[in-house]
Chains A and B, each alone.
Chain A
Amino acid sequence: MGIILKDITKCYRIGEETVAALAGVSLEIKNGEFVAIMGPSGSGKSTMMNILGCLDRPTSGSYLLEEQEVATLTDDELAKTRNKRIGFVFQNFNLLSRVSAWENVALPLVYAGIAEKERLNRAAAILESVGLASRKQHMPNELSGGQRQRVAIARALINEPSIIMADEPTGNLDSRSSVDIMRIFGDLNEQGKTIILVTHEPDIAQSAKRVITVRDGLIISDEVKEQYYV
């Protein structure tokens, strides 16, 4: 169960040259873990996250998600997987600018084929749990960065995925908002969700139970913190 990566590579062709953003990554993440992926800019963290989040496909290698080989899935099956199993949080929030916080949160349920009434009820409940009950009708540009990221987290949670992935979720936030956001991730992990987040700030990585360091498309270290040894 969980996530198993084997020899994952991702290559980009730029003109004549081929750049390997991932040069052979093998990794196992069990359900309920809280993993931080660290590394300098350009080291391949986002590339790895996108593959983990089924947004992108590896050039080679195998990715088993809940014992399902992702490489064999069609584009639409990948879309369904993103919809049901994974909640993705982006650095720049990626909210739809023309619809309210409420409808943004409910959006994944549209593609899950759930009726409008239920969508809105569930979205309202989740928004309340991230402390934004009073901001339901606000448009994204009427919210602060921290509030927007909480909307994005609510959206990632709405279809009850078991894995939450976040690519530098605090990258655009001030330190206070960052703390709030990290507390939410901590709570979610307590509730049993698998959390995988990318960051280059050691303070943020502090919250995680396991820290993976990436450089030049390779994992150079993978440490589980002492207090979490099993």
Chain B
Amino acid sequence: MFKESIAIALRALLANKLRSILTMLGIIIGVGAVISMVSIGMGVKEKVQNSIASLGSNMLIVTPGAASSQGVRSASGSSVTLSLEDAEYIKKTVQGIDYVAPSVSKQYQIIAGNQNWTTTVYGITPEYMAIKSLTVGSGSFVSQQDINSRNRVAVLGATVAESLFGEMNPTGQNVRINNTPYLVVGVLDSKGQSSMGQDQDDIVLVPLTTAQERLLGITYLNSISIQVTKMEGMDQAQEQITSLLRQRHKISGTKEDDFTVRNLTSIMAMMTETTGTITLLLGSIGAISLLVGGIGIMNIMMVSVTERTREIGIRKALGATYRDIMLQFLIESVVIGVLGGIFGIFLGILAAFAISTFGGLNTVISAVSILVPFGFSIAVGLFFGIYPARKAALLDPIEALRYE
């Protein structure tokens, strides 16, 4: 009986091709809209997640200044409360951490011969290499000896090396930073662009102590990056660091921290939530058009039932049961939903492709973002088909046969 019902439904749809296609169009556009809208939302999410992940997900970053002081957020890193001793103390006492990398940074013009280049100079310690997973292409990295003796040495990022020295190997050459000569001891391997579009090779690294005393003339730090051994240890490490620093900075009771410990996982979770909301919002816009498409199905099915009252009467007179008639009309509306859904998937994928190609937006299509709206389109066909199908199935055979 099921097979017959499908055949009858398909035949009815084919008998009214234009009408069937127009009805389907509502579903096609609905499904297409959901898929393409969600693909944009997921594209944003992927981009954000990648850029956060590239920073390292088991990383804690301590910056001076409270996260918010009386509602006004001081520019992060501008306060003067974090010291190298804080960093060393964290390294010594906090358990479950691999590296601690204190750093300072500022923009400088770098001069080599008659070439100059403006870039960010970072004052760092040897652990910076591990925490940022840097590798040295030629020469060596900043050593503990350099830190201890405040040596005027520099390690160049690939972009800086290329801009100042071209093809030449800069190792052993001098560059001038803030009019003071620095010996280039190494060049970093290229890391390329970050997912945020930043050139990660456009940096110059000098020993932390050299930067603090000889370049900046400060004693504090801009930030301390801490790599935690295990993801599960993140919360614990964060707590330990917070209480440790509060103790060291003599902050007691309910007084606000004068530093901020940020957890990339929590930032990621927050961003994921935000982008999830965006995706949901975009998806809902599509879902609404799918719903409107469903109302279109119901509308046409009502017309179809009325038009075919006589046919229903004949079928019932010949022995069709409630279930037979119900099935016939339900299948008809479900077929509209299924076919509309299939074409809608193509439209949605095409639209997502066009948006990323011509609109420059990152779009992501997943099996879920296809199957959910497809399932939804079938459900819409089913749901909006029930009322008209029931109406048809409940028709009295005599009255249906008498219908003009």
Binding site for B on A (CB under 8 A): 50, 53, 55-56, 75-76, 79-80, 82-84, 88, 90, 94-96, 98-99, 107-108, 110-113, 116, 155, 159
Contact = CB atoms under 8 A, between A and B. Distances in A.
B321 interface: yes
Interface stretch (B32-40, B87-95, B207-215, B310-318): B310-318
A112 B322 contact: no
Interface in B1-41: 1, 4, 11, 15
Given A90-B401, A96-B314, A79 B1 contact: no
A108 B318 CA distance: 5
A79 B319 contact: yes
Contacts of B397: 55-56
A82 B15 CA distance: 28
B189 interface: no
29 contacts: A50-B398, A55-B398, A75-B321, A75-B322, A76-B322, A79-B316, A79-B320, A79-B321, A79-B322, A80-B321, A83-B318, A83-B319, A84-B319, A88-B317, A94-B401, A95-B314, A96-B314, A98-B15, A99-B11, A107-B315, A107-B318, A108-B318, A110-B1, A111-B315, A111-B319, A111-B320, A111-B321, A111-B324, A113-B1
Interface in B318-346: 318-324
Nearest to B310: A94
A83 B320 CA distance: 8
A82 B317 CA distance: 7
A22 to B, nearest CB: 14
Nearest to A77: B321
Report, as a range, how many residues of chain B touch the other chain.
20 to 34
Given A55-B401, A83-B318, A159-B319, 16 more contacts: A55-B398, A56-B397, A76-B323, A79-B316, A79-B322, A80-B319, A82-B318, A94-B310, A98-B11, A99-B11, A108-B318, A108-B319, A110-B1, A111-B319, A111-B320, A155-B318
Chain B interface helix/strand/loop/mixed: helix
A42 to B, nearest CB: 15
Nearest to A110: B4
B319 A82 contact: yes
Contacts of B314: 94-96
A116 B323 CA distance: 20
Contacts of A107: 315, 318
A110 B313 CA distance: 15
A99 B315 CA distance: 13
Contacts, number: 58
Interface of B: 1, 4, 11, 15, 310-311, 313-324, 397-398, 401
User: Which 5 A-B pairs give the minimum distances between C-beta atoms?
Assistant: A83-B319, A111-B319, A76-B321, A108-B318, A79-B321
B24 to A, nearest CB: 20
Contact of A111 (B311, B313, B318): B318
A56 B398 contact: yes
A108 B313 CA distance: 13
Contacts of A159: 319
Contacts of B313: 94
A99 B318 CA distance: 15
Contacts of B322: 75-76, 79
A65 B156 CA distance: 103
A59 B401 CA distance: 20
A210 B298 CA distance: 51
A108 B321 CA distance: 11
Nearest to B12: A98
Given A98-B11, A98-B15, A55 B319 contact: no
Instruction: Give the interface centre of B319, B321, B397 by most chain A CB atoms within 10 Å.
Output: B319
Contacts of A50: 398
Nearest to B5: A110
Instruction: Give the interface centre of A80, A107, A108, A111 by most chain B CB atoms within 10 Å.
Output: A111
A112 B317 CA distance: 13
Contacts of B398: 50, 55-56
Nearest to B319: A83
B14 to A, nearest CB: 10
Contacts of A94: 310, 313-314, 317, 401
A81 B316 CA distance: 11
A112 B320 CA distance: 9
Nearest to A112: B319
Nearest to A95: B314
B332 to A, nearest CB: 14
Given A76-B322, A98-B15, A111-B324, A55 B1 contact: no
Contacts of A155: 318
A172 to B, nearest CB: 15
Contacts of B320: 79, 111
Contacts of A75: 321-322
Instruction: Give the interface centre of B311, B317, B321, B401 by most chain A CB atoms within 10 Å.
Output: B317
Instruction: Give the interface centre of B313, B315, B318, B320 by most chain A CB atoms within 10 Å.
Output: B318
A83 B324 CA distance: 13
Contacts of A55: 317, 397-398, 401
Contacts of A90: 401
Contacts of A113: 1
B392 to A, nearest CB: 14
B192 to A, nearest CB: 65
A54 to B, nearest CB: 9
A84 B319 CA distance: 8
A50 B4 CA distance: 28
A94 B317 CA distance: 10
Contacts of A96: 311, 314
